[in-house]
Amino acid sequence: MPRQLRAEQTRTTIIMAAADLFDRRGYERTSLSDIVEHARVTKGALYFHFAAKEDLAQAIMELQSRAARQAAHDVDGRDCSSLEALMRITFALTRLCVEGPVCRAGLRLATGGIAVRPPLPHPFTEWLEIATRKLLGAVRESDVHPDVDVHAAAHSLVSFFVGTRVTGRPLEPVARLPRRTTEMWHLLIRGLVPVPRRPRYLTLAGQLEREIRVV
């Protein structure tokens, strides 16, 4: 195996091990020795790629940001309304949380006071921008009441989504998260969407939840 490929695989192994531990134990309660043991690598291998635990946290948040941007990009390539696009993005992020530890760890790091180094934006800033843009589009498309305070709605949506994971972490398995995302959308749809257009989006929420459960 070429040396560069082996090094990249080792780096990925370390990041995934750190993400798993940060998600389950928290950043402060995870040591570099814990990560070395969990990743089954040597300390030398870890320090070759990461000088400090903070560098690992940054790498995880960068991967989370990249995955979120890719999810938004993939949805933007579809022919769908702004509100449907926003729903699909939230369920795509939910899927990432269910399928692997990076998104879960990124959320825990972002809510645990871990500094995000420039030029990487804070993930919640990115999500607020996406939510605001899509909700403005939904107002233009008459899928959201015209008198809705879009910025307040975007802030509430992001807080709701993040809070669902934070609250659920110690109380229920991550496999419950798709159902919680659906419940979130059922409440938001009834508060934001005109009555004649609600059935379409309530149905969509259930469909998107089932798609995650099938995989």
Domains and CATH numbers, the chain: 54-214 (1.10.357.10)
Can you tell me which residue has the tokens 């403005």? 136
Mean pLDDT of 88-99: 94
> What mean pLDDT do residues 59-76 have?
91
pLDDT band at residue 2 using 50, 70 and 90 as cut-offs: low
127: closest CA among 95, 96, 155? 155
Q: In 3D, which of 208, 171, 187 has the Cα closest to residue 85?
A: 208
Mean pLDDT of the residues in the chain = 92
Cα-based distances in Å from 115 to 62, 105, 120, 184: 12, 14, 10, 28
Of residues 15 and 7, more confidence is placed in 15
Q: What is the predicted pLDDT for the residue at 101? A: 92
6-25 mean pLDDT: 93
Q: What is the pTM of this model?
A: 0.91
Using omega within 30 degrees of 0 as the cis cutoff, is the peptide bond preceding 119 cis? yes
pLDDT value, residue 50:
94
| Mean pLDDT along residues 42-52 | 94
194 confidence band (pLDDT: 50, 70, 90):
very high
For residue 85, pLDDT over 80 is answered with yes
Quick check: 15 and 102 in contact, CB under 8 A? yes
Is pLDDT at 1 greater than 60 in this prediction?
no
Structure tokens at 64: 């989370």
Residue with the bigger pLDDT between 17 and 68: it is: 17
What pLDDT, on the 0 to 100 scale, is given for residue 215? Answer: 47
pLDDT, tens digit, 9 for 90 and up, residues 163-175: 998 888 888 999 9
Q: Which residues contact 154 (CB under 8 A, 6 or more apart)?
A: 128, 131, 132, 135
The percent of residues above 90 in pLDDT, for the chain, comes to: 76
Give me the pLDDT at residue 214, please.
52
